[in-house]
Amino acid sequence: MCQVNTDPMKSLSGYLDVVVPPDILNHPDHNLEEGVSTEGGSIVLVCSATGVPEPKVQWRRETGKDIILRAETRDKQALKSVEGERLTLTNVQRSDMGGYICIASNGVPPSVSKRFDVHVNFPPTIKAVNQLVGAPVEREVTLECIVEVYPKPLNGWYRNEGNIKLHNGNKYNISEEMINLYTWHLNLTIRHLTKSDFGAYSCSSVNALGKSETRIRLQELRLPPKSTTTPTPHVHTTAKPRRKQQPGHNKGLNEVVRAKETHFSNQMQQENDVFGGGIGLPQSANSGNAGSVVESGNVNGMINGAEGAE
């Protein structure tokens, strides 16, 4: 209050509010930054905060997924955020695993947050991507399994009813890939397949809570034999249109032969006249039998010659 000693006295009063940004407490009774339970159990996360004015605490999942609140009646709620210092998860499932963030804010910057991890332990469940796989000899093939388990298991591949464990080497390549916190992708690659490689295989997973395995049968895939015959080359031909003959040139084989015979007889007669009958004609020349004039081997040549003269 401010006062002035005058007559009359004057004074002025003022009010001061002290604000304090939020702070998350590390309480010794609930300082756990993770919650662990077996599947079907319960987990309680506590996030206490101080500040002036009193902060509000809100819970969210780190991945942005919904928080699942389950009741004993198996009813459940899927919420983007939950308010309150305590987050109680009942009947927890493997899908509840991951990071949870508590955020404390009171309108006085900055807001503060803290991360909690939720772990749900359960025995392995395993399944084959394909239970029956076919491949030809001399090739390479990969067998695959998917495992859901937490905590991290010991995984392996076996042959002959699980009696022979397989290891990385020239013949086998074994690998595994983590898909999420509790899912694993197992691979067995077999190189240079022979007849003895076909049969039953099994992939196995074990942790402190149990063991699971599944079988895969690898069978020979018979490819059709390769063709050894030489393919016949394909020859493409184009038909040439036939030239239309003039009406006067439409002669049959007998007419062509008869014309050649007449020309031959006339030529022989002229030579006979010149040489005074020194050359005689064969009797068949005047017999009218065209077939006796032309040798059979020259018929085609004659036809071609007649067509060429057109």
- Position 292 in a domain: yes
Same domain, 95 and 148: no
CA distance 135 to 13: 92
DSSP, collapsed to helix, strand or coil, labels residue 62 as coil
Same domain, 104 and 145: no
Which residues 6+ apart lie within 8 Å of 106 measured at CB? 19, 21, 22, 51, 52, 53, 54, 55, 56
**Could you tell me if 137 and 171 lie in one domain?**
yes
Q: Do 271 and 201 share a structural domain?
A: no
Q: Which token pair is 215?
A: 């079988």
Helix (H) or strand (E) holding 235: none
- Total domain count, the chain: 3
Give the pLDDT confidence score for residue 230 in this predicted structure: 60
**CATH number of the domain to which 208 belongs:** 2.60.40.10
Instruction: State residue 6's pLDDT score.
Output: 80
| Cα distance between residue 212 and residue 155, in whole Å | 10
80 and 141 belong to one structural domain: no
Q: What is the pLDDT of residue 298?
A: 43
Give 67-99 pLDDT, tens digit per residue: 999 987 668 899 999 999 999 999 999 999 999
Note the pLDDT of residue 242. Answer: 57
Shared domain for 34 and 67, answered yes or no, is: yes
In a domain, 181, yes or no: yes
137/100 same-domain check: no
* Beta-carbon contacts of residue 276 (< 8 Å; ≥ 6 apart): none
Using 70 as the pLDDT threshold, list the residues of the chain that sit under it: 28-31, 73-74, 227-310
Question: By C-alpha distance, which of 214, 220, 216 is closest to 193?
Answer: 220
Return phi, psi of residue 259, to 5°. -65, -40
Report yes or no on 246 lying in a domain: no
Which residue in 208, 31, 34, 210 sits closest to 119, CA to CA? 34
Contact 27, 48 (CB under 8 A): yes
Q: Are 90 and 175 in contact (CB under 8 A)?
A: no
Residues 6+ positions from 144 with CB-CB distance below 8 Å:
128, 129, 130, 185, 186, 187, 188
Residue 75 lies in a domain: yes
Q: CA-CA distance, 297 to 105, in Å (whole number)?
A: 117
Any domain includes 278: yes
The predicted pLDDT at position 176 comes to 97
Cβ-contact 302, 256 below 8 angstroms:
yes
Say if residue 137 is exposed, middle or buried (CB neighbours under 10 Å; 0-12, 13-18, 19+): middle
Between CA 175 and CA 25 the distance in angstroms is 44
**Confidence (pLDDT) at 13:** 82
Final residue of a domain: which of 176, 197, 220?
Answer: 220
Q: Which residues pair with 67 in a beta bridge?
A: 79
Whether this prediction's pTM lies above 0.75 is answered by no
Q: Which of 72, 74, 30, 22 is nearest to 50 (CA)?
A: 22
Looking at the fold, whether 178 and 114 belong to one and the same domain comes out as no
- Asked whether residue 10 is domain-assigned, the answer is no
What local confidence, expressed as pLDDT, does residue 19 receive?
Answer: 94
Inside any domain, residue 9: no
Query: What is the number of other CB atoms lying within 10 angstroms of the CB of residue 287?
Result: 10
Please tell me the predicted confidence (pLDDT) of residue 160: 80
User: Of 61, 95, 121, which residue constitutes the final position of a domain?
Assistant: 121
Residues 63 and 114 in one domain: yes
Q: Which domain holds residue 259?
A: 252-296
Cα gap 106→123, rounded to integer Å: 43
- Of 218, 211, 212, the closest CA to residue 159 belongs to 218
Where does a domain end: 201, 220, 239? 220
In a domain, 277, yes or no: yes
Give residue 73's pLDDT. 64
